[in-house]
Amino acid sequence: MPMRHSVTKVVIPAAGLGTRFLPATKALPKEMLPVVDKPAIQYVVEEAVRVGLPDVLFVTGRNKNALENHFDRATELEAILMRKGDEERLQRVSESSVLANVHYVRQGDPLGLGHAVLRAKAHVGDNSFAVLLGDDLIDPRDTLLERMLQVHDQRDTCVVALMEVDAAQAHLYGIATVEPTDEDDVVRVRGLVEKPEPGSAPSNLAIVGRYVLKPEIFRVLEGTAPGRGGEIQLTDALLTMAEDDAAGGVHGVVFRGRRYDTGDKLDYIKANVMLACEREDLGPGLREWLREHVLEMERQPEVGLAT
Ligand code: G1P
């Protein structure tokens, strides 16, 4: 049973152009790229539902019709499968349409993650809420979001997910400076910088795409000037919140579990391989092939290029 907590709504920004995956994302939203056999975004919605948060608001942009269709009924396809008596496929087609209570708002101008979150204000109202970024998949066996909701409820604070990253990767993330608390996996956030210049990161603790935010963030976002890349950055608004003790500040949950980054091409391929290796239907065959393929590449390094 998912635990009960004060947060009931989830916001998933999904207005990005997916330029890193062109041409695959020319006509297909990047959120719809498959990870094994499900669109990446479905894993994220499943994560929200697993912790008891089925109210999901997508902040979308143009060309996101495929995403909306995916979380809707596909009546023609369902009727064909039903006539054929193909219960298994019918179940797979319909599960995403009954998974969550899905809502949509358009971002309009692509002015940054902070701007996308601000677009959720009318739907969320005066309540705390969770923000889940579609590029980060958290392994279903890990309970990161649940822990973040618990910390929010216990400490009445905004919570970000933090992970140690290689120093060479720090410029790709929001980076936090922190102080310890009385709990091993919880830190108090003292400083935040969005995508620091290479070599200048103040730590190696990076924000990964999970946030639990108090509604005060909307007021702060409204007054946040464009930052890195000329965009309104959620990280900058969170820095303002971190400096405001009266508003409860910002805490971080340090995640030491399994995260798959589907926003980067190489990591996206790794995520597919890792998750497929664990599947009962695909794992045995894939693992066997991988072992043979690696041995072959060691014997003849150019083989990997040809196959
Ligand atoms: C966003 C945030 C960044 C965070 C990252 C996590 O950046 O702005 O602070 O570290 O997500 O994935 P993006 O990767 O969308 O550019």
Q: Which residues of 57-92 are buried (b: 16+ CB within 10 A; e: fewer)?
A: bbbbbeebeebeebbeeeeeeeeebeeeeeeeebee
Helix (H, G, I), strand (E, B) or coil at 131: strand
Pocket test for ligand 1, best of 11, 115, 205, 207 (most atoms within 8 A of CB): 207
What is the C-alpha to C-alpha distance for residues 224 and 240, in angstroms, rounded to an integer? 9
Distance 304 CA to ligand 1 centre (A): 32
Could you identify the atom of ligand 1 that is nearest to the CA of residue 136? Answer: 12
Distance 154 CA to ligand 1 centre (A): 26
State pLDDT tens for residues 188-234.
999 999 999 999 999 999 999 999 999 999 999 999 999 999 999 99
User: How big is the CA angle at 175 (ends 169 and 181), to the nearest 5 degrees?
Assistant: 125
Determine the length of the chain.
307
Question: Which percentage of the chain shows pLDDT scores above 70?
Answer: 96
Could you identify the atom of ligand 1 that is nearest to the CA of residue 194? Answer: 9
Distance 209 CA to ligand 1 centre (A): 6
Tokens of 69: 């269709």
Cβ–Cβ < 8 Å for 111, 5: no
Closest C-alpha to 224, from 302, 116, 299: 116
User: Cα-flanking dihedrals φ and ψ of residue 177, to 5°?
Assistant: -105, 140
State pLDDT tens for residues 69-100.
999 999 999 999 999 999 999 999 999 998 99
Residues 6+ apart with CB under 8 A from 1: none
pLDDT score at 242: 97
pLDDT score at 303: 62
pLDDT score at 3: 57
- Residues having CB closer than 6 A to ligand 1 are 113, 133, 135-136, 173-174, 194, 206-209, 235, 263
DSSP state of 133: -
Could you identify the atom of ligand 1 that is nearest to the CA of residue 263? Answer: 14
pLDDT score at 4: 59
Closest C-alpha to 12, from 123, 97, 141: 123
